[in-house]
Structure 1
Amino acid sequence: MRLSVSHVTTYRYDPPRRGMVQSLRLTPAVFEGQQAIDWRVDVPGGFRGAAFRDGAGDWVETVSLQGPMPEVAVTVQGEVETRDLSGVLRGHRETVPPVAYLRTTNSTELDPRLRELAGDALEGASLQDRLDQAHRLTSAVRDAIEYLPGRTHTGTSAAEALEQGHGVCQDHTHALISVAIASGIPARYVTGYLFVDDGNGHEASHAWAELHIEGMGWIGFDAANRCCPDDRYIRLGSGHDATYAAPIRGLAEGTGSETLEVAVKVSESSQQQQQQ
């Protein structure tokens, strides 16, 4: 499938900031399931700094800006050819060992309820069949946390989302990471895009988890949608949680109010539609 992405993130400051440094993880990952046909990341007024592929195999760029800045916009435009690999991250090169993803963060910290959820999900499961365990944990998280936007926030932890019983893809992903780690399965947070074939494109970024299954490697599990990523998904980058994997991280010089506006649209490219 060929997908087109338009993603604009706008920060507005009052009073204007004196300067800023940003770290951008906004370039599609390199693996057999996707290939960027055309991809541009623009920050008007920004000065490009270091660019490198980190230990997790993600492309990271740095940008600095000099003020005064009342507004900063980060624009992504591009097309990606995707393939359905049933969630398997085949052909992705990285140097960080899977065992590094057996630690939790504030967002994925385990509590008794999460441990109980993991234990109940794996009751009767084969100790040797890690893939089946991963699917069971994914279903258990989705059953326990109803998809309900507007009730959680960026700082909500997996334990808090489970206690409330509702959340969004970020909360499902944090909870799945938690219960996977509790079960001895390395797990990490993935950011990207998801195309929904509703005729209007999809107006949001997306997040899901990857669990490392020995003998198979990293496999994606989208608890929010009860599936493994297929050719509707575009993978950007990963990390221990939403903060580590954030597509944009920055440090601004100055104080005052900040507002954020995000507009994302994922659609089938015009070339894809002509071929149908």
Structure 2
Amino acid sequence: MRLTVDHVTRYTYDAPVRSVVQSHRLTPSAFAGQKLLDWEISVSGGTKGARHRDGAGDLVQGWTIAGPLGEIIVQVRGSVETEDLAGVLRGHRETVAPACYLRETAPTRIDLALAGLANTANGPDTLALAHALAAAVADAIAYRPGVTHAHTTAAEALALGEGVCQDHAHALVACARHRGLPARYVSGYLFATQDGTPHEAAHAWAELHIPGLGWVGFDPANRACPDARYIRLGSGFDAQDAAPIRGIARGGAREAMDVTVAVQQSAQ
């Protein structure tokens, strides 16, 4: 499937800031199920800095924007050819040991309710257990935009019984780690037809490490493993760690952010 992306992030400040430094994970991952055709990232008034590929295999690009400024626009445009690998991250180069992803973070910290949910899942092997965990999370947290926020934890989302893809991913990561499966948060994009299935163009899911298969993606929000509709950007311990854009501004202004993302299928 050939997918095109138009992703605009606009930052505004209630008073001019002196400068902004950003770190981007906005380039799609290089693996067997994903081929980059063309991709362009622009930052209004920005100057490119250092660029490197980190231990998780993600391409990280630094940017500096000199002030004074009251607005920054980050625009991503490009196209990717994708293939359905049933969620398996085949051919992805990384150096971080999977066991590192057993470490919990604040958003994925286990509590009694999450542990109880994780313990309800069973299967004859690790892959079946992973599917059961994803199904348990999907059953326990209904998809409902607007009831949670960027800092909602997995435990809080489970207590609410509602949330969005970030909450599903955090909860699955927490449950998988509790059951001894290395797990990580993945950010990316999702194309979906208007068939009534809940989805967001800017999307998130989880990857669990399965012996003999490696990293396998699970998307509880859509009760699916990532297929050709998904574009993978990068991964981390949680949403903050895997964020496509991270940054810091010099100055005491209050920041507001607006994001628009469109993912479309184009002709082959």
* TM-score, length of structure 2 as denominator length: 0.97
1:94-122 C-alpha deviation (Å, 9 max, x unpaired)? 00000000011000000011111011122
Helix, strand or coil for the counterpart of 2:108? coil
Alignment match, 2:210: 213
Of 167, 173, 193, 1:177 maps to: 173
User: Residue 90 of structure 1 aligns with which residue?
Assistant: 90
- The answer as to whether partners of 2:43 and 2:72 remain within 8 angstroms in 1 is yes
Take 1:3 and 1:69, find their aligned partners in 2: how far apart are those partners?
34
Matches within 5 A, 1:9-88: 9-88=9-88
Runs of 4+ in structure 1 off by over 2 angstroms are none
Deviation at 1:14, TM superposition (A): 1.4
The aligned residue for residue 151 of structure 1 is 147
Query: Which string of whole-angstrom CA distances, capped at 9 and with x for unpartnered residues, describes residues 55-82 of structure 1?
Result: 0000000000110111001000000000
2:252 equivalent among 250, 255, 265:
255
In the TM superposition, residue 203 of structure 1 has moved relative to its aligned partner by 5.9
**Residues in 2 aligned to 1:246 and 1:257: alpha-carbon distance in whole angstroms:** 20
Which amino acid counterpart does residue 178 of structure 1 have in structure 2? A
Structure 1 position 182, deviation (Å): 0.4
Paired AA for residue 182 in structure 1: H
Letter in 1 for 2:183: A
> How many pairs does the alignment contain?
265
**1:122-152 deviations in whole A, cap 9, x for unaligned?**
2xx33xx100000000000000001011000
Structure 1 vs Structure 2 CA RMSD: 1.1
Aligned to 2:127: 131
TM superposition shift of 1:257: 2.0
1:174 corresponds to which letter in structure 2? H
Unaligned runs of 5+ in 2: none
Decide whether the 8 Å contact of 1:10 with 1:260 is kept in 2: yes
Q: Distance in 2 between matches of 1:48 and 1:130?
A: 43
TM-score computed with the length of structure 1 as normaliser: 0.94
Per the alignment, in what secondary structure is the counterpart of residue 107 of structure 1?
A: helix
Instruction: Tell me how far apart the structure 2 counterparts of residues 192 and 182 of structure 1 sit (CA, whole Å).
Output: 25
Contact residue 190 and residue 200 of structure 2 kept, 8 A:
no
- 1:228 match: 225
Q: What CA distance in whole angstroms lies between the structure 1 residues aligned with 2:43 and 2:200?
A: 21
Identity of aligned residues (%): 59
Query: Conserved in 1, the CA contact under 8 Å of 2:191 and 2:201?
Result: no
**Which range moved further: 255-264 or 56-65?**
255-264
- 1:208 is matched by which residue type in structure 2? W
SS in 2 for 1:100: helix
Asked whether the 8 Å contact 1:102–1:186 carries over to 2, the reply is yes
Partner of 2:104: 104
CA contact (8 A) 1:203 1:263 kept: no
Amino acid at match of 1:215: G
Aligned with 2:242 (options 245, 251, 255): 245
Question: Which whole-Å CA distance do the structure 1 matches of 2:24 and 2:69 have between them?
Answer: 19
Task: State the alpha-carbon separation in 2 of the partners of residues 2 and 198 from structure 1.
Answer: 18
For the residue of structure 2 that corresponds to 1:143, the secondary structure is helix
CA distance in 2, matches of 1:186, 1:29: 20
Residue type of the alignment partner of 1:24? H
- The CA distance in 2 between the partners of 1:45 and 1:203, in whole Å, is 29
Cα distance in 2 for partners of 1:103, 1:257 equals 33
Q: Distance in 1 between matches of 2:44 and 2:255?
A: 18
